[in-house]
A and B are shown apart, each in its own frame.
Chain A
Amino acid sequence: MNKRILVVSAGLLALVVFALGVFFYTQQQAQQAAQLAQANRTALVRPHSPAFGNPGAKVTIVEFIDPACETCSAFFPLVKSLVGGSSGQVNLVMRYAPLHKGSDEVVKILEAARMQDLYWPVLQALLKSQSVWVVHHEARPERVWDLIQDTGLDVAKARADMNSPRVAEVVAQDIADGKTLKVTKTPGFFVNGKPLVDFGSDQLKALVAREVRSAYGK
């Protein structure tokens, strides 16, 4: 009976040590991520980054997005409502983190759509039809064109634009900034430079609410 107690308590002790390890490790990681974002503020928003909402808003959500990422698609309505429902206090800046295979080509299509002022409608159409053009976690850029035609995009022009050096530059800069900020999963959120470490929709809402409170008082 003594032995049983020994085994059970050793097992429990191991689990407690494990839990403590998780606690301290995640806390340390969160601290590091915050410091990293603080030290690399210029990497968060670039002049070329597409923005949504009131440019004068005091709270900025930076989202590193991969159009082929399912969670990005699921989060998009929430992110938009956080901006739309803020009466001008919150805006959104999009950065690319094409982590899926083939996704970098789709990101270039988005940039080409931006040249025709169709960034948001095309992004919306892409996220909605994701299941058609993302197959087994791999983006198929060729399937995209039919799905975004309804937005009024000049496809021939976009096909040419997406291979322009300017687009390549923007995408390369975003990928480099994502690496600097250690965005290894998408969507990657930063609110006024503070990373969303504990990922989740409620946590994102809370972080935005906290930043709005500290920026606008109340």
Chain B
Amino acid sequence: MTSTTSVQDKSWLWVFLAWLVALTATLGALFLGEVMGVLPCVLCWYQRIAMFPLVIILAVGLMPFEERCVRYALPLAVVGWIVALYHSLLYWGVIPKDLVPCGEGASCTDVKAVLFGFVPVPLLSIAAFSLVVVILSIVKKGSRNE
């Protein structure tokens, strides 16, 4: 009984951590776009579409704790991670730029998309998605082993 509770507590803490990451990333993206006026490019929008709902889904899953929320959140996070990876590869020129589907609006490889003068925004995005994917995978694995 006690062991189940502690496992549950641990899972809760992991999901809470993933939620904090998603919350920080979401507010950060909103600050960048709405306050600092940096226009989101097309790929940024797809990443936002994957990141923003995580805040809601995980928050609902945390109170009261429902481990199933990981099942709903993980696919979103994985899709976002894939887009973020593609975006990062574009940004560093690994994928040639002429394949980019960025017609209108802000460019996805704009060097101005840099925070504090040296952290590129696509890097922040892939870091956040990676963290969420890893954390949620840990929770999923833990629940399977039970």
CB within 8 Å of B: which residues of A? 3-4, 6-8, 10-11, 14-15, 17-18, 21-22, 25-26, 184
Given A14-B24, A14-B27, A18-B27, CB of A7 within 8 Å of CB of B63? yes
How close is B125's CB to chain A, nearest CB, in angstroms?
18
**Least distance between A162 CB and chain B CB atoms (Å):** 29
Contacting residues of chain B (14-35) with chain A, CB-CB under 8 angstroms: 16, 19-20, 23-24, 27, 30-31, 35
- Contacts A3-B65, A14-B24 known; A22 to B31 CB distance under 8 Å? yes
User: Which residues of B are interface residues toward A (Cβ below 8 A)?
Assistant: 12, 16, 19-20, 23-24, 27, 30-31, 35-37, 59, 62-65
Q: Are A14 and B23 in contact (CB under 8 A)?
A: yes
* In the bound complex, CA of A3 to CA of B23 (Å): 17
A7→B31 contact, CB < 8 A: no
Docked complex Cα distance between A22 and B59 (Å): 24
Beyond A3-B65, A4-B63, A25-B36, whether A10 also contacts B31 by CB under 8 A is no
* B20–A10 touching, CB < 8 Å: yes
CA distance A26 to B63 in the complex (A): 35
Nearest residue (CB) in A for B13 is A3
Could you pull out 12 A-B pairs where Cβ atoms are within 8 angstroms? A3-B12, A3-B65, A7-B16, A7-B19, A7-B59, A7-B62, A10-B16, A10-B20, A10-B23, A18-B27, A18-B30, A25-B35
B31→A18 contact, CB < 8 A: yes
* Inter-chain CB contacts under 8 Å: number: 36
> Which residues from B are CB-within-8-Å of A17?
27
* Contacts known (A3-B12, A3-B63, A25-B36); A11 close to B31, Cβ less than 8 A: no
Residues of chain B lying within 8 A (CB to CB) of residue A7: 16, 19, 59, 62-63
Residues of B within 8 A of A184 (CB): 37
Q: A10: which B residues are within 8 A, CB to CB? A: 16, 20, 23
Residue of A nearest to B26 (CB): A14
B59 touches A11 (CB 8 A): yes
Q: Is the CB of A21 within 8 A of B35?
A: yes
Which chain A residues border B31 with CB–CB below 8 Å? 18, 21-22, 25
A100 to chain B, nearest CB (A): 14
Q: Which B residues lie within 8 Å of A22 (CB)?
A: 31, 35
Q: Please give me the residue from chain B that is nearest to A10 by CB atom.
A: B20
Complex contacts, A6 vs chain B, CB 8 Å: 16
Q: State in angstroms the CA–CA spacing of A184 and B31 once bound together.
A: 18
Query: Top 4 A-B pairs ranked by shortest CB distance?
Result: A4-B63, A18-B27, A7-B62, A22-B35
Query: Shortest distance in angstroms between B31's beta carbon and chain A's nearest beta carbon?
Result: 6
Q: Output the least CB separation between B115 and chain A (Å).
A: 13
- Chain A residues with CB below 8 A from B16, complex form: 3, 6-7, 10
A2 CB, nearest partner CB in chain B, Å? 11
Inter-subunit contact A11/B62 (CB<8 Å): no
Residues on B with C-beta less than 8 A from A18 are: 27, 30-31
In whole angstroms, what is the CA distance A184 to B37 when docked? 10
The residues of B that contact A21 with a CB separation of less than 8 Å are: 31, 35
List the B side residues contacting A14 at CB < 8 Å.
23-24, 27
Residues of A close to B19: CB separation below 8 A: 7
